[in-house]
Amino acid sequence: AQSVTQLGSHVSVSEGALVLLRCNYSSSVPPYLFWYVQYPNQGLQLLLKYTSAATLVKGINGFEAEFKKSETSFHLTKPSAHMSDAAEYFCAVSRPGYSTLTFGKGTMLLVSP
Amino acid sequence: SQTIHQWPATLVQPVGSPLSLECTVEGTSNPNLYWYRQAAGRGLQLLFYSIGIGQISSEVPQNLSASRPQDRQFILSSKKLLLSDSGFYLCAWSVDTSGNTMYFGEGSWLTVV
C-alpha cells in the first residue's frame, strides 16, 4: 500500500520568504509523485510531477521539488513567496501501472505581507 | 483542448433525500474517471474510479454509488443521503497510463441538513 504524509497542516511565511512544504511517502515500489494546488472553492491544479526522470522537478509558478529516495521525501520549495501563493497544497503518490492517486491531507500555505 | 465540467456547484439536501452529481469530459476519448471527496483536514478520499463504460471500482464502502452510462460521463448518486455525506466532491479524469496527470473539475459542495 502507498501513503503520503504532509508535515504541518498550516505553514505561514512572509512575502518574499522561502516556501518549504514537506512530503514523505511510503511505497513498496518506485513511486510517481505529484504536487497539486487548490485555491478556495476550486478544483486541484497540477504544480509538478516526478515520474522517474530527473530528480529535481520544476513546475509552474516558480515551484520545484526534489525526489530523495534515501529520505523517501518529495518536498516542495519556492525561493520567494508571493501573496498569490496562498492556497492549499497536496502531495500525492501513485505507482507504475496504476492511474489512481493517493493524496496527503494537505498543507495550507498562508502568506503575510 | 480537454475540459471537465461538474455540476451542480452547490447544493443543500435534506437527510434521506437522493443525490445525483454529474461530471462530463470533453476533448478526449476513453478517459479514466474518478470521484473524490474532500473533508476538512482529511485530504482527498478516492470514492470511485472507472476505466470504461459500465466499469466501476469502489474504493470505500459507503452510502454512495457511481455509474458511467457514456464514455465521458460519470455520475455520483445516493438513494438516501446521510449527514456524513456532506463535503466537497471532486470529479477528475486522466488518460489510461500511470504517471499521467489527473485533471480535476471545479467541485461540488454538498451540505446535508
**What are the pLDDT digits (tens) for B43-64?**
899 999 999 998 999 887 678 9
Q: Does A46 touch chain B (CB under 8 A)?
A: yes
Out of A30-34, A82-86, B72-76, which region has the weakest mean confidence (pLDDT)? A30-34
Task: Name the grid cell of A32.
Answer: 510517481
A99/B102 Cβ within 8 A: yes
Model pLDDT, residue B61 = 66
- In this prediction, residues B29-53 reach a mean pLDDT of 89
Is the pLDDT reported for residue B79 higher than 70? yes
Q: State the average pLDDT over residues B54-79.
A: 91
Beta strands in A1-113 (DSSP E): 3-7, 10-14, 19-26, 32-38, 44-50, 56-58, 64-68, 73-78, 87-94, 102-103, 107-112
* Beta-strand pair A19-26/B3-7: unpaired
Residues 6+ positions from A84 with CB-CB distance below 8 Å: none
- For B88, the closest chain A residue by CA position comes to A41
* Cα separation, A89 vs A37, whole angstroms: 5
User: Tell me, what's the pLDDT at B5?
Assistant: 95
Instruction: Report how far apart the first and last C-alpha atoms of chain A are (Å, whole number).
Output: 41
Which residues of B make CB contacts under 8 Å with A? 6, 32, 34, 36, 41-44, 46, 49, 59, 90, 92, 94-107, 109
